[in-house]
Amino acid sequence: MALGEAGVIAQTSTTPTTGEPMITAYITHPDLARHDMGEHHPEAPMRLEAIRARLMRSGTLLQTVQVESGPASDEALERVHDRDYLVDLERRLPRQGIAIVDGDTRLCPDSLRAARLAAGAALKGVDMVCKARADNVFCATRPPGHHAERGRAMGFCFYNNVAVAAAHAIEQHGLERVAILDFDVHQGNGTLDIFRDDPRVLICSSYQEAFYPWRYLDGDWPNVVNTPLAAGDDSAVFRRRVEQEWLPALERHRPQLLLLSSGFDAHRDDPLAEIELCHDDFYWITARALDVAKRHADGRLVSILEGGYHLKSLPVGVEAHLHALLGQPWCESP
């Protein structure tokens, strides 16, 4: 199980954390595929299918504890969303066809069922690590959540899964300090909207600058570390910025739980952005997060899928991420 204080790993180490097998839960649900925003939409059911196919082929999935999600309750959602907003979303749900909510954010008849299962996976993940039923968790879920604000759906997101998880950890498990690390290529504006100025929740978010969602560009909140990257920035820049900006803030915050908004769309192959990360970077950032979790949080870490839209690249990024969570080395294979 997780290391305690004695298992200190150098803060700025770049050596991957390997050698210690971890119990990793993989939480998902078949009904997540029923959320379908229409042909050619990048946030498509195939994303989870492609991930599962890759993880089955490599044998990685069989090394995890596979768990089925359940739907999040109204109470859990209302900790981070306005009740009026949640009621309005239900009212917009079409009986058939597709209802447009915000640009490319669309509801089909099963969308909110899937969104509740996605938030429910994050809740179950928190319960599992807080009750020591797993060392860490990956939620293979969609729709993503980090753009959903307290009262607004946007950016393919309806319920802010990572925020629901953080509020649950605080309210139900009595945690006083949580950290959210968001390495999706888009800023986690919804998470900022919900937790800015909440000293219990440290938010570190890297993202492509001058880019979607164009929210919360200016502002200085003591619990938020915004790490804007320029188009074309690569692994070296990303890693240096994380080491200089995130790791010291995490050491000061001493989180009792790490939550990851794990977006894989900063990969160089991703069609939605222009950051030049490679798959090794997803292994690296996961290993750094685990180092922090082991030092301060008894290893507790829950990772929640956000973006990642290249159907060949996304599954490889998730595979790298899972190998780090499992405490295994990883090198890219075809």
Q: Which residues bind Zn ion (CB under 5 A)?
A: 184, 186, 263, 265, 307
Q: Which is nearer to Zn ion, 22 or 115 (CB)?
A: 115
The distance of closest approach from Cβ of residue 267 to Zn ion in the complex, given in angstroms and rounded to an integer, is: 11
State the amino acid at position 107 in one-letter form: L
The distance of closest approach from Cβ of residue 228 to Zn ion in the complex, given in angstroms and rounded to an integer, is: 14
Place of tokens 């200085």: 220
The distance of closest approach from Cβ of residue 212 to Zn ion in the complex, given in angstroms and rounded to an integer, is: 8
Task: Write b or e for each residue in 39-55: b if 16 or more Cβ atoms lie within 10 A of its Cβ, otherwise e.
Answer: eeebbbbebbebbbebb
The distance of closest approach from Cβ of residue 48 to Zn ion in the complex, given in angstroms and rounded to an integer, is: 16
Considering Cα of 225, then 285, then 301, then 190, what sign does the dihedral take?
positive
Q: Apex CA 282: angle with CA 44 and CA 41, to 5°?
A: 15
Q: How far is CA 165 from CA 82, 142, 150, 217, in A?
A: 16, 15, 14, 25
Point out the residue whose Cβ comes nearest to Zn ion: 307
The distance of closest approach from Cβ of residue 307 to Zn ion in the complex, given in angstroms and rounded to an integer, is: 3
Q: Largest alpha-carbon pair distance within the chain?
A: 57
Q: Where are the alpha helices (DSSP H) in the chain?
A: 46-58, 74-78, 83-92, 111-130, 161-173, 189-195, 235-241, 247-253, 279-296, 313-325
Q: Which is nearer to Zn ion, 124 or 310 (CB)?
A: 310
Q: Which is nearer to Zn ion, 128 or 275 (CB)?
A: 275
How many CB atoms neighbour CB 198 within 10 A?
A: 16
Q: Which is nearer to Zn ion, 125 or 307 (CB)?
A: 307
> Tell me, what DSSP letter sits at residue 138?
E
**Rounded Cα–Cα distance for residues 303 and 283 (Å):** 13
Active site residue 173: no
Q: Which is nearer to Zn ion, 17 or 303 (CB)?
A: 303
| Cβ(203)–Cβ(195) below 8 Å | yes
| Set 147, 168, 296, 310: catalytic member | 147
Q: Could you give the residue numbers annotated as active site?
A: 147
